[in-house]
Amino acid sequence: MAEALRVGLLGYGLAGRVFHAPLIAATPGLRLDAIVTRDPQRREQAHQHFPDARLVDDADELWRTPEALDLVVVATPNRQHVPMARAALAAGLPVVVDKPLAPTAADARALVEEADRLRVPLTVFQNRRWDGDFLTARGLVERGELGRVLRFESRFERFRPAIKPGWRELAGPEEAGGALFDLGAHLIDQAVQLFGTVERVYAEVDRRRAGAEVDDDAFVALTHANGVHSHLWMGAITAQLGPRLRVLGDRAGYTTYGLDVQEAALHDGGRPDQPGWGEVPPERYGLLGVDGDLRPVPTVPGSYQSFYAQVAAALRDGTPLPVDPRDSVATVELIELAHRSAAEGVVLPVPTA
């Protein structure tokens, strides 16, 4: 068996601790070799969770000995995504960047161009492509079970009226904070994956909580080139949650409630190599059909671990990376257009290349 690829993880906050570290550790062919964090509490957590990983105070230590690693994962605050990814690329190290790829589309494009110039692999952790409900909806669409799709509705809503300290609540543009960057990066990516090129964008973006510095309530409408309308909601102050997904076609619809189970399982210490990972119980299956004639459809098990399995295969065998970083550039471009649409109160065309 080939030796496992050695992974350096930058950051051990929510993204690093809950998502990346356990997924890396559960992926055959990958080994979590180094964790970069100088926070004493996070260092202790990292040592308890992954005692065989070396703890590093500063990413510069990794760049001094790049031959000791095979892959770098950037799970830092958003403002550090671009400089950390650039440093990894300069060291010749393949890199995974958590979403959003960059705070601006210009920075995202430049980063992808740099990776291309250096011929170093770069991909983006768009893990919600492996949500069970999204995989189920995608299968229904591809098999034509809904007929011609007319409208796609998708929501990431929460009720968290109290503002929690942290960089996600900071207003500086370099932070890429707020609901549209945080949750919209998932919703927009899913919509484009399902229905392709976007021609027009309309958005409403607000700050609803007292003292909020960043948007906490947003609606984005995308008009796709194939005629599908995607309506996307994201927010932190939704007292009653709507459907997670609703896909409406001229033959049938598909509606499902509740978030994918994998994030909660990871929060609780679950691992993807455990039996039943990503499965939802029958009472949570989505409904397919028309009113008066609905049937539950088993939800495809979610599979966040597939992202890192595909990364490992790409680095070993030259197969495609799980996410083309150009997709994530396009997502940041649409987020910027959504912010502009909301500020100007207009529908905006998407510029063509």
Give the domains, in start order, of the chain with CATH numbers: 5-125 (3.40.50.720), 128-303+334-349 (3.30.360.10)
Tokens matching residue 103: 């705070």
So what's the pLDDT on residue 218? 97
Contact 71, 7 (CB under 8 A): yes
CA distances from 31 to 52, 235, 300 (A): 10, 36, 28
From residue 78, alpha-carbon distances to 13, 82, 104, 154, 245 in Å are: 12, 8, 11, 24, 27
Question: CA end-to-end span of the chain, whole Å?
Answer: 45
Per-residue confidence (pLDDT) for residue 171, from 0 to 100: 80
Backbone phi, psi, residue 34, to 5°: -140, 140
Task: Decide: 27 and 308 in contact? Cβ < 8 Å.
Answer: yes
ω into residue 100 within 30 of 0, thus cis? yes
Element (H, E) at 67: none
Please give, one letter per residue, the 3-state secondary structure of 285-345. Answer: CEEEEECCEEEEECCCCCCCHHHHHHHHHHHHHCCCCCCCHHHHHHHHHHHHHHHHHHHHC
pLDDT along the chain (353 residues), means of 10: 89 95 96 96 95 96 96 96 98 98 97 98 98 98 98 95 83 87 96 98 95 92 98 95 97 97 95 94 98 98 98 97 98 98 97 83
Q: What three-state secondary structure class fits 40? A: helix
Pairing of strands 253-256, 198-206: unpaired
- Look-up of token digits 């400089």: 83
Confidence at residue 175, expressed as pLDDT on a 0 to 100 scale: 84
Q: Identify whether the C-beta of residue 126 lies closer than 8 Å to the C-beta of residue 99.
A: yes
- For β-strands 198-206 and 149-157, DSSP reports them as unpaired
- In this structure, are residues 121 and 321 in contact, taking their beta carbons and an 8 Å threshold? yes
Say what the pLDDT of residue 174 is.
86
**Residue ranges of E strands in 118-242:** 122-125, 149-157, 198-206, 217-224, 229-235
**What is the identity of the amino acid at 217?**
D
Q: Which residue has the tokens 């990364």?
A: 311
pLDDT of amino acid 166: 81
pLDDT score of 172: 83
Give the sheet arrangement for strand 149-157, strand by strand: 293-297, 286-290, 253-256, 245-249, 149-157, 229-235, 217-224, 198-206, 348-349
